């Protein structure tokens, strides 16, 4: 058995002031290769773990289509990442050794990163096994040449070979990708937001060309804004029908802002939270509230910071409670998962006697909710100054999540299960 603690200590002690610059560069390369080798070891462990879990589920009589449920979630929790990334790690691990053997060899020897191995798998996913093996042979059989390729170069080369070997499957993949078009919103630095649209290439190019044309026209008539500013403002105006620069601009949609009354009145600047976006500073929260037609008041406990609770006798979480859960939990409650809340989940299942209450409910993304329903998973509410849930995976590992406080908490846990007020 490997002594992980000793190995971690050795790695932590490696950078020392006594090294020369040449040695520092050599050590940087060595650590990079070690990191790749460690990622390959994680992939091998993931494949073995998945096979074991699937076999156990089969022995327990679980239908074939549900035997892998929850595996990616356990991998994600172990790697302190989201369910989406866990699924990607699992998918890569399950095909590397048998379908991309040269890529796997380069990965194991530290010649390529996990991401480059993922690119090889992603760009050949539409091919039959024989064709995937051929792409692997032609691109990865020479590890020296493979190591020198950049991310974009490797992806382009794999795409080109895939198109040559099976153009029909590549075309079908493109059509399937077009059906998955969509729009997403993510927080960006400095209280900005990143609005992204996944579009077919013809539509994406057309949208960008239209915005660029508007910027060219504005610049030609002496508009003082930069080209980027004009393009961004034009996008907002054409979608919402309003001028984003107007003083009385009203988005015409509901924006839910959670903030203490002390922020609203200007007594403090501790910040606030916008549903669907994330934390914002107090001054922006007041600006949003000043222009609001309607204010929905949500009160937090003055000592714990927890939002007030509500109950229901219904089996299905009612709409009002679901909205409350989204305000309280903000993002998926699974540790390290930053996905938006999509499902209102009973922490303890209804069939196990769990009531439909805020105390026994949590907001989860769709993937994490489905994973939690797999064989061997349990979850229970736990005492805490804010809503707390402990989840136990089939291997017996436990993970705890707590709802973010609506205001700064003033309690500390002095021993397990015991809190004391400190201010």
pLDDT of residue 62: 92
The residue that leads in pLDDT, 36 or 18, is: 36
Is pLDDT of 321 > 90?
no
User: What does the block give as tokens for 228?
Assistant: 């980027």
pLDDT of residue 413: 62
Tokens 């400095």 locate to: 190
If we measure between CA atoms, which residue out of 103, 134, 136, 132 comes closest to residue 117?
Answer: 103
The residue that leads in pLDDT, 323 or 44, is: 44
pLDDT of residue 419: 66
The residue that leads in pLDDT, 8 or 122, is: 122
Q: Cα angle vertex 416, ends 411, 422, to 5°?
A: 20
pLDDT of residue 324: 86
| Rounded Cα distance, 402 and 406, in Å | 12
| Rounded Cα distance, 117 and 114, in Å | 5
Check: CB of residue 237 under 8 Å from CB of residue 249. Answer: no
pLDDT of residue 73: 96
Evaluated on CA atoms 104, 105, 106, 107, the torsion sign reads positive
pLDDT of residue 303: 60
Give the tens place of pLDDT for each residue, 324-339. Answer: 888 888 889 999 998 8
Is pLDDT of 401 > 90?
yes
Mean pLDDT in the chain? 85
Give the tens place of pLDDT for each residue, 104-145. Answer: 999 999 999 999 999 999 999 999 999 999 999 999 999 999
Q: Residues 237-244: what's their mean pLDDT?
A: 84
| Rounded Cα distance, 95 and 132, in Å | 11
Q: Residues 188-210: what's their mean pLDDT?
A: 89
Give the tens place of pLDDT for each residue, 39-85. Answer: 999 999 999 999 999 999 999 999 999 999 999 999 999 999 999 99
Under the banding of pLDDT at 50, 70 and 90, the label for residue 18 is confident
Give the tens place of pLDDT for each residue, 147-179. Answer: 999 999 999 999 999 999 999 998 898 888 889
pLDDT of residue 166: 93
Q: Residues 369-392: what's their mean pLDDT?
A: 91
What percent of the chain has pLDDT above 70? 83
Under the banding of pLDDT at 50, 70 and 90, the label for residue 390 is very high
Q: Angle between the 129-140 and 151-165 helix axes, to the nearest 10 degrees?
A: 140
pLDDT of residue 252: 55
Q: What is the DSSP string of 92-155?
A: HHHHHHHH-HHHHHHHHTTSS-HHHHHHHHHHTTTS-HHHHHHHHHHHHSSHHHHHH--HHHHH
Beta sheet of 278-280, edge-to-edge order: 257-258, 272-274, 278-280
What percent of the chain has pLDDT above 90? 54
pLDDT of residue 255: 67
pLDDT of residue 8: 84
Evaluated on CA atoms 86, 88, 89, 94, the torsion sign reads positive
Give the tens place of pLDDT for each residue, 271-320. Answer: 677 776 777 777 777 776 665 545 555 555 656 666 655 444 455 778 88
């Amino acid at each position: 058995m490997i002594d992980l603690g000793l190995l971690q200590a050795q790695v932590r002690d490696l950078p020392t002031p006594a090294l020369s610059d040449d040695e520092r560069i050599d050590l940087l390369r060595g650590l990079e290769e070690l990191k790749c080798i460690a990622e390959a070891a994680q992939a091998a462990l993931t494949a073995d773990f998945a096979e074991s879990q699937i076999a156990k589920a089969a022995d327990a009589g679980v239908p074939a289509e549900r035997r892998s449920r929850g595996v990616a979630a356990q991998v994600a929790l172990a790697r302190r990442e989201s369910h989406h990334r866990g699924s990607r790690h699992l998918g890569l691990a399950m095909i590397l050794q048998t379908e991309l053997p040269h890529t796997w060899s380069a990965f194991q020897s530290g010649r390529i990163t996990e991401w480059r191995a993922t690119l090889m798998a992603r760009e050949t996913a539409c091919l039959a096994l024989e064709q995937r093996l051929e792409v692997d042979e032609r691109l990865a059989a020479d590890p020296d040449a493979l190591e020198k390729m950049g991310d974009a170069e490797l992806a382009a080369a794999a795409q080109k070979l895939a198109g040559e070997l099976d153009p029909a499957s590549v075309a079908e993949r493109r059509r399937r990708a077009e059906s998955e078009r969509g729009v997403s919103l993510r927080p960006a630095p400095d209280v900005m937001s990143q609005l992204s649209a996944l579009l077919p290439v013809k539509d994406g190019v057309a949208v960008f060309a239209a915005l660029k044309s508007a910027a060219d026209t504005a610049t030609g008539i002496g508009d003082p804004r930069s080209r980027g500013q004009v393009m961004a403002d034009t996008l907002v105006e054409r979608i919402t029908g309003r001028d984003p620069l107007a003083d009385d601009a009203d988005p015409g949609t509901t924006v839910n802002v959670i903030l203490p009354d002390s922020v609203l009145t200007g007594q403090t600047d501790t910040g606030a939270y916008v549903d669907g976006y994330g934390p914002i500073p107090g001054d922006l929260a007041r600006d949003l509230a000043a222009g609001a037609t309607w204010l929905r008041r949500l009160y937090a406990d003055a000592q714990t910071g927890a939002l007030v609770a509500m109950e229901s006798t219904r089996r299905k979480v009612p709409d009002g409670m679901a909205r409350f859960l989204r305000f309280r939990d903000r993002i998926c409650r699974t540790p390290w998962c930053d996905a938006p809340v999509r499902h209102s989940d009973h922490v303890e299942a209804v069939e196990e006697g769990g009531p439909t209450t805020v105390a026994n409910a949590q907001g989860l993304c769709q993937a994490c909710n489905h994973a939690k329903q797999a064989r061997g998973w349990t979850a229970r509410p736990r005492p805490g100054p804010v809503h707390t849930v402990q989840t136990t995976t089939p291997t017996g590992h436990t993970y705890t999540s707590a709802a973010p406080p609506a205001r700064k908490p003033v309690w500390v846990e002095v021993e397990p299960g015991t809190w004391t007020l400190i201010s």
